[in-house]
Amino acid sequence: MLTRRKTLAWFTGAVMTGIAVWFIRPLSPVGVFSRLPSFKPDDIFFDAGKTEHYKIGKVDRRWKNKYGVWLIRTLDGFYALSAKTASGGDTEWDENLKYFREVSRPNYFYRSGVHFKGTEKASLLRVAVRQTEDGRLWVGRENRNVLTTHTPLPV
Q: pLDDT tens-digit profile of 51-104?
A: 888 888 888 888 888 888 888 988 888 888 888 888 888 899 988 889 899 888
R_g over Cα of the chain = 23
Find out whether 84 and 68 touch, Cβ atoms under 8 Å: yes
Q: What is the CATH number of domain 45-140?
A: 2.102.10.10
CB-count exposure of residue 72 (10 Å: 0-12, 13-18, 19+)? buried
pLDDT band of residue 10 (cuts 50, 70, 90) is: very high
- Predicted model pTM: 0.63
Residues 135, 5: Cα–Cα separation, whole Å: 68
- β-partners of residue 153 are 78
Say how far apart CA 113 and CA 115 lie, in whole Å: 6
